[in-house]
Amino acid sequence: MALEIVQVEVGLLQNFDELCADPETGDCAIVDPAFEVDRLLHLARARNWRITTVLVTHTHHDHVDGVAELCAATGAVARVGEGEADALRAVAPRAVVRPIADGEVVTLGAERITAMATPGHTIAGMSYRTDGAIITGDTLFVGGVGRTDFPGGDPRALWRSLQRIAALPEETRVYPGHDYGATPTSTVGWERTTNPYLRCGSEDEFVALRSGRTAPRPTRGPR
Ligand SMILES: [Zn+2]
């Protein structure tokens, strides 16, 4: 069986969370809990899933404000890129926070999720990859990419991170951190051919587009 991924839109900023579980054992990870923790707990409970892990893509408040509550309720261990571990500990001081490195594997029953370092939107952003899917946080949206003008943002690092994602098999399903696109999910192949940021021919072209020097942002809303 494959890892089961349930996408949930929460809060008022069009945030997406994912529940990822091995349906056999019910071992479950939740990505980026910030809002509506009671609802996330209910969704897991209704499926007889046990939340063992919180996976954090990055530590902007709309991705981590629920980590303390969720970890307190479940005893789950929170994982985050090393460079943002202290920021996570600051918002969830009682949670067990364990840094995760590029390529490190989290097991959920018989299923595996692999961390992929995707800095650029933040200093230590992480994406999480399974067979056939990648959860991209604010690195890649459907039709867009994350901002790079917050502290720790770096458009050249984001370009390199996007190149790694774009190199995945084209059928890989993309689960973004916000519902900013025409559809809630997409695929690597679709983004490669339609996302203006992934269609850039060079790093410099990307940086110019991302900084707004060459074209307006193609998608709506803050990111
Ligand atoms: Zn963000």
pLDDT tens digit string along 131-165?
899 999 999 999 999 999 999 999 999 999 999 99
Please, are residues 140 and 174 in contact by the beta-carbon 8 Å criterion?
yes
Classify residue 218: in a domain, yes or no. Answer: no
Classify residue 223: in a domain, yes or no. Answer: no
Distance between Cα 45 and ligand 1 center (Å): 28
Distance between Cα 138 and ligand 1 center (Å): 5
- Block residue for tokens 């051919």: 193
Distance between Cα 51 and ligand 1 center (Å): 23
Work out how many domains the chain is built from and give that number: 1
Comparing CA positions, the residue from 101, 137, 96 lying closest to residue 116 is 101
Classify residue 99: in a domain, yes or no. Answer: yes
- Residue 9 in tokens: 């839109």
Q: Is the pLDDT score of 216 beyond 60?
A: no
Please, are residues 121 and 58 in contact by the beta-carbon 8 Å criterion?
yes
Classify residue 222: in a domain, yes or no. Answer: no
Please, are residues 173 and 179 in contact by the beta-carbon 8 Å criterion?
no
**What is the per-residue pLDDT for 203?**
96
Classify residue 164: in a domain, yes or no. Answer: yes
Classify residue 216: in a domain, yes or no. Answer: no
Helix, coil or strand: residue 126: strand
Q: What CATH number corresponds to the domain at position 189? A: 3.60.15.10
Please, are residues 48 and 22 in contact by the beta-carbon 8 Å criterion?
no
pTM over 0.85: yes
Classify residue 137: in a domain, yes or no. Answer: yes
- What integer is the mean pLDDT of 83-93? 98
Distance between Cα 110 and ligand 1 center (Å): 31
